[in-house]
Amino acid sequence: MGPGTLAALLGRYTALGEPLSCRPLTEGLLNRGYRLTTTRGRYFLKHHLDGDQAAIARQHRATLRLAGLGVPVAPPVVAADGSTVTVVGGRCYALHPWIDGTHRDGDDLTGPQSRRLGRLLGVVHVCLDRVMRAEPTPHPATPAPPATPVPDPPAPPAPETAPERAPSWAAPPPSRPEPPAQRLLPGPRSASLSPTPLPCDPAPPARVSPGPAPSPAPWMGAPPGSPVAADPAETFALIDDLLALARRRRPRDAFDELAEHRLIERRALIERHAHRRPTPATTPASGWVHGDFHPLNLLYRGTEPAAIVDWDRLGVQPRAEEAVRAAAIFFVRPGGTLALAKVRPYARGYRAATGASPQELAAAVHRVWWERLNDFWILRWRYQRGDHRADPQFPAVAALVVWWTSRYEAVRAAFCE
């Protein structure tokens, strides 16, 4: 970033002091970030590569409103003119303070902490339903799906006899010093980011009329949450293309061997389960969701969530499907299995916060399983785009699909019991 661009940016804000350094950061796949140090403090400067000012401003308004409800988020710094998006040379930027913190995946969470994680995501969905009512939907509205989705076979277990009471966010401070690791937090701190009871969590949200899913993330083969599930015929064509690319790659390595094995294996699985393709009637109820809820987008202080970051994928999708996708990332083990003992309390926490029924979770599990079965984003990045950044994720991601298929009923039960 040139000094002229930086000066133009800083000129939009008051009380930031003089710049001392501005260093590019390597984290992030969809945007560029800089660590900005001034005479008044440290900041995270985010360059939004997609340049969609309306979408960025909507994200910022959402986090500002969520912070007002006590949700652990960190809204952007507001410029002197009241805006949060700055355009310099046709490029969109936003300024946020730099916050110390750590990330924690499922291995780092106890059962009670897993439950609080599920409850946190549920609170996000409930509160988004409240704060986004003033926002126009990003796509033309379509008729809402049934309030109680028709579950895919096999039938889900019976509903719980009584809803569980959501635990309080209040928790004693950690007994050991917090680790010194730092993470970019795209947003300023509100008055306090310490865990507090969330005022908006007791009532389940009203059903929101869904629109078509937002534009897919570049790593997805199809928009997540789309009512029309992946077509096996299209998947088979993609598998053939990826197989050809993997087989002719030179020099050939162990990754290419594994990719070929998994592609052949996946084709056989899809052929065997093609009759279980979800139908639009099984789509869970939609509403506003974070869109990318995973360990790198959740900052912890001690043992409690401090802030949810990176709202670039904020949009309207089936809420329960986001809960299932998040669990499949948080609780996946290196060998490609899910820690079901932690998924269970996580799902209970989510259901308690949102009022989602076991049937809705069962439908979401089925649709996300099918989505994963037909998804090859890592191989598309590697073979079609020449981008190897996601290669290390492939062994566990590919193994999880096979394991999930073989343990389908156990996985569904963990989300629904």
Give the CATH number, domain containing residue 69. 3.30.200.20
> Could you give the angle at which helices 111-131 and 319-330 cross, rounded to 10 degrees?
150
Query: Same structural domain for residues 72 and 188?
Result: no
Paired sense of beta strands 304-308 and 298-301, if any: antiparallel
Together in a domain, 9 and 153: no
Backbone φ and ψ for 393, nearest 5 degrees, come out as: -80, -20
CB 178 within 8 A of CB 306: no
Where b means 16+ CB within 10 Å and e means fewer, 264-301 reads eebbebbeeeeebbbeeebbbbbbbbbbbbebbbbbbb
Q: Which of 71, 97, 123 is the last residue of a domain?
A: 97
Lookup result for tokens 């399983």: 369
- Residue 235: closest CA among 205, 206, 259, 268: 268
State the total domains in the chain: 2
pLDDT tens series, the chain, 417 aa: 777 888 888 888 888 888 889 999 865 556 788 889 999 888 888 898 887 889 999 999 999 999 999 999 988 989 988 999 989 888 899 988 787 789 999 999 999 999 999 999 999 999 999 999 878 766 543 333 333 333 333 333 333 333 333 333 323 333 333 333 333 333 333 323 333 333 343 333 333 333 333 333 433 444 666 778 999 999 999 999 999 999 999 999 999 999 999 999 999 999 999 999 999 888 888 999 999 999 999 989 899 898 898 999 999 999 999 999 999 999 999 999 999 999 999 999 999 999 999 999 999 999 999 999 999 999 999 999 999 999 999 999 999 999 999 999 999 999 999
Quote the CA–CA distance of 98 and 80 in Å, as a whole number: 20
Classify each residue of 343-378 as buried b or exposed e, where b means 16 or more C-beta atoms within 10 Å of its C-beta. bbbbbbbbbbbbebbbbbbbbbbbbbbbbbbbbbbb
Could you read off the pLDDT of 180-206 as tens digits, one per residue?
A: 333 333 333 332 333 333 334 333 333
Q: State residue 178's pLDDT score.
A: 32
Q: Where are the beta strands (DSSP E) in 225-362?
A: 286-289, 298-301, 304-308, 315-318
What was the pLDDT predicted at 152? 39
- 358-373 and 394-406 are packed helices; what angle lies between their axes, rounded to 10 degrees? 130
90: containing domain: 3-97
What is the Cα–Cα distance from 304 to 117, expressed in whole angstroms? 9
Q: Is residue 312 part of a domain?
A: yes
Give the CATH number, domain containing residue 302. 3.90.1200.10
Distances (CA, A) of 69 to 126, 175, 286, 299, 338: 11, 28, 21, 18, 33
Is 65 part of a structural domain of the chain?
Answer: yes
Q: Is 199 a domain residue?
A: no
> Do 31 and 174 fall within a single domain?
no
Q: How far is CA 407 from the centre of its chain?
A: 24
Instruction: Output the pLDDT for position 157.
Output: 33
Measured CA to CA in angstroms, residue 130 lies from 65, 78, 124, 199 at distances of 9, 22, 10, 12
| 216 is a domain residue | no
Alpha helices, H only, 339-389? 340-354, 358-373, 377-379
* Per-residue model confidence (pLDDT) at position 3: 78
Which of 67, 97, 127 corresponds to the end of one domain?
A: 97
Same domain, 89 and 123: no
What pLDDT digit, counting tens, does each position of 268-308 carry?
999 999 999 999 888 888 999 999 999 999 989 899 898 89
pLDDT (0 to 100) of residue 345: 98
What is the rounded distance in angstroms from the CA atom of residue 188 to the CA atom of residue 75? 5
| 318 within some domain | yes
Closest CA to 174 of 125, 234, 110: 110
Q: How many CB atoms neighbour CB 26 within 10 A? A: 6
What is the distance of C-alpha 99 from the center of its chain?
Answer: 20
Asked if the structure places residue 133 within a domain, the reply is yes
In a shared domain, residues 372 and 302: yes
373 and 414 fall within a common domain: yes
Query: Does the residue 35 lie in any domain?
Result: yes
What sign for the dihedral angle of Cα 12, 14, 16, 17? positive
187 and 286 belong to one structural domain: yes
Domain match, 165 and 37 both: no
The amino acid at 50: D
Same domain? 45 vs 115: no
Question: Which tokens go with 324?
Answer: 């299932």
**Do 46 and 110 share a domain, yes or no?**
no
Residue 77: which of 51, 98, 55 has the closest Cα?
Answer: 98
Whether residue 355 lies inside any domain: the answer is: yes
